Structure 1
C-alpha cells in the first residue's frame, strides 16, 4: 500500500509542476568584465531567455564611466549577448554595480571580473538585493557562497532532475534502499559533472537534455509495470538505474554550469561548491518528499486510479519535454 501513498504525493507535486511544463531551470544573467587597458574594460552581458521572452534587465555602472556598444546583440544558447566597451577614470574595484530590473525579474545575476594585473573576482546579486560592491581580488569565501547558491537554485528549479529523483523514490521501497539509490545518483552525476567541466569529456548539450527526458519516460513505464505486479530492473536494482542515468544528468548539470561560467582562478573550488549546492538542494527535496509520503501514509484507502495517474502524468510530461528538445535540434 505504501506505493499508493508515494504515488499520491507525486500527484500533489504535479499540480505545481504543470504551471511550468517546459522544465527549464531558472538560469542567472551573466556579466563578464575584462580589463584591457588602464581603466578600460570589455563587457559581455548575457540575458537568459525565459518563456521565450527576454527580461528587461541591464547593468548600471557608477557615474564617471561610459558604456559603448561594440556590436549588434546576438543570440547565444538560451539568451541574448550584448558586447560593450566600458571606460572610466579609475578602477572598478570597490565600486557599486546595480542590475536594473532584477528585483522584478526573479532571477540572479553572476558577475565575473578580470583585472589587467591578473586578479579575478566574482559577485552574485539577487532580486532581493540587486546591487553589490565589485571585489578587487579573488575572495574564496565569495566563490564558495556564490556557487553553492547557484547549485541549490539549479537543482530546485531544474524540474526534470527533480522529477527523475521523485520517480526513483516512488519505485524504491524502504528508506535504506532509497538512500542507496540517491547516493548512486549523486555519485554518478558528480563524476560526469567534474569530467565535463574539467575538459575530460565533451557531450553535446541538446542530445543529453533529450535523453534526460527519455530517462524519466523510462521510469514512468517502470512504475506502471511495478503497479501491475511485475518485477522490473528498477524495482530490483534502483541504484543501478540511478547510477546509469545519473551519468547523463551530470552532463546536463555541466551544460548549465558552462553557461553560467566559472572563475578561472578558482575552477576546482567553484566546481566543488556548485556540486555541494546541488546536493544540498537534492537532499532537501528528498527529505520533503519522504515526510509528505509518511504523512499521507496515515490514510490507507487511496483508490487504484491514483496509483496509475502519476505514472501516466510523468510519462506524458517527460515525453513532451523530449519532443520539444528534439525539435530544438533544428532551431
Structure 2
C-alpha cells in the first residue's frame, strides 16, 4: 500500500502555488486588477488557457486586459474605473473547477487589505466593509493544511521520519520538534527578521529527504546500527525543520498576509500545517500497524520499497533544483 501510494504521487513538489488575483486602488476611482495562474493550478482545473477575471458591479475595464505567459505561470492585468464604493462587491476568477483554488487580495488606499480564499464553489470574494478576523483565520488554516498535504517535498520528509521512528511517543516527539522548528523560521522569515534565497532552500529540502531515505534503508538493512538520526530523531527533525520553515515562508510569501491580521493568519497557517501533518502520521502509523499485524513478513520489504521511492523522488528534485 505504501509503495502504490508513492508511485501514484505527483512528480513535482510544493503543489501549493495557488492562483492569485489582486485588486489594487491607485487613486480615486482608478484600480489595477492583476492575476497569476501557476501552471499547476491551470492544469488542476482551470477552464481554458486563461481564467476570466470577475470584477465588482460598478467597475468597468478602461482597456482590454493584457495577458502573457511567464515561466510556470500565466499572467494578466487590467485597468478598471470604479465609480462607487466597492463594499459588498464581488471579484475573483471564473473558471475554477474541481480542486483548483485561488487567493484574492483587495488593496484599497484608505482601508485595511483583505485576503480571501477562492474555490470552485466560491470563485468570487465578497468585499467586506471591515475584514472578518475569524474568516481570515479559517482561510489560512485551510491553506496551511493544503500546503502540507499537497506540498510533496515537506510531506515526504514527514513520511520518511515517521517510517524511520515508527514508535508512537518517539514519533510524536520528532513531529513536535519538526513543527516547532519550522514555525520558528516561518514566523521569522515572514516577519522579515531573517531569510534565505528560495532556490538553495528548495535544494536543501530535497537533500533532507534523500538523507532520511538513506537512513531508512540502513535502518531496515542494519537494525542494530544506531546512527545519530535513530538515537535522537527529534534533534534531526528540529534541524531540518528550521530549513523547511524557509520553504513554508516562501510559499506563504506568494500568497501574502492580510496587513491587519498578520498574527491570526500566521497562527492559523501554522495550525493548519500541524493538523495536516498529524493526519498524515496517524494514517501512516495505522497502515504500518496493520502491516505488522496481518503481514509481518512483508513489513520490511514494503518499508524498503517506500524508502527507495522517497529517495529517488528526493534525488530527482535535488538534481532538478541544482541544475535549473
**TM superposition score normalised by structure 2:** 0.90
Alignment correspondent of 2:235: 240
SS at match of 1:25: coil
The answer to whether 1:112 aligns with 2:108 is no
Q: Residues 10 and 166 of structure 1 are in contact (CA less than 8 Å); yes or no, is this contact kept in structure 2? A: no
The answer to whether 1:103 aligns with 2:93 is no
The structure-2 alpha-carbon separation of the partners of 1:290 and 1:187, relative to structure 1 and needing over 3 Å to count, comes to: same
Q: Residues 57 and 89 of structure 2 are in contact (CA less than 8 Å); yes or no, is this contact kept in structure 1? A: no
The structure-2 alpha-carbon separation of the partners of 1:31 and 1:168, relative to structure 1 and needing over 3 Å to count, comes to: same
2:27 to 22, 33, 37: 37
> After the TM superposition, which of the residue ranges 114-123 and 214-223 deviates more from structure 2?
114-123
Q: Residues 119 and 136 of structure 1 are in contact (CA less than 8 Å); yes or no, is this contact kept in structure 2? A: no
Per-residue deviation, 1:228: 2.2
Alignment correspondent of 1:59: 53
Alignment correspondent of 2:280: 285
**Cα distance in 1, alignment partners of residues 130 and 35 from structure 2:** 21
Alignment correspondent of 1:156: 149
Per-residue deviation, 1:91: 2.0
Structure 2 unmatched runs, 5+: none
**Cα distance in 1, alignment partners of residues 67 and 93 from structure 2:** 21
**Cα distance in 2, alignment partners of residues 137 and 85 from structure 1:** 24
The structure-2 alpha-carbon separation of the partners of 1:24 and 1:171, relative to structure 1 and needing over 3 Å to count, comes to: same
The structure-2 alpha-carbon separation of the partners of 1:65 and 1:51, relative to structure 1 and needing over 3 Å to count, comes to: closer
**Cα distance in 2, alignment partners of residues 64 and 30 from structure 1:** 22
**Cα distance in 2, alignment partners of residues 169 and 117 from structure 1:** 49
The answer to whether 1:309 aligns with 2:299 is no
**Cα distance in 2, alignment partners of residues 303 and 161 from structure 1:** 24
Q: What pairs with 1:7-86 in structure 2 (closer than 5 Å)? A: 10-17=2-9, 20-50=10-40, 55=46, 56-67=50-61, 68=63, 73=68, 75=70, 78-86=72-80
- How many corresponding residue pairs? 316
> After the TM superposition, which of the residue ranges 220-229 and 190-199 deviates more from structure 2?
220-229
1:179-238: CA deviation from partner (whole Å, max 9, x where unpaired):
100000000000000010010111001111111111011011111211222221211111
Per-residue deviation, 1:73: 3.6
1:20-76: CA deviation from partner (whole Å, max 9, x where unpaired):
111231321111212222332122212112289694323211454222368664637
**Cα distance in 2, alignment partners of residues 109 and 57 from structure 1:** 11
The answer to whether 1:141 aligns with 2:134 is yes
**Cα distance in 2, alignment partners of residues 205 and 305 from structure 1:** 36
Q: Residues 16 and 251 of structure 2 are in contact (CA less than 8 Å); yes or no, is this contact kept in structure 1? A: no
**Cα distance in 1, alignment partners of residues 57 and 274 from structure 2:** 41
**TM superposition score normalised by structure 1:** 0.88
Q: CA RMSD in A?
A: 2.2
Per-residue deviation, 1:90: 0.9
Alignment correspondent of 1:262: 257
**Cα distance in 1, alignment partners of residues 300 and 260 from structure 2:** 56
Alignment correspondent of 1:188: 181
**Cα distance in 2, alignment partners of residues 237 and 303 from structure 1:** 23
Q: Residues 69 and 83 of structure 1 are in contact (CA less than 8 Å); yes or no, is this contact kept in structure 2? A: no
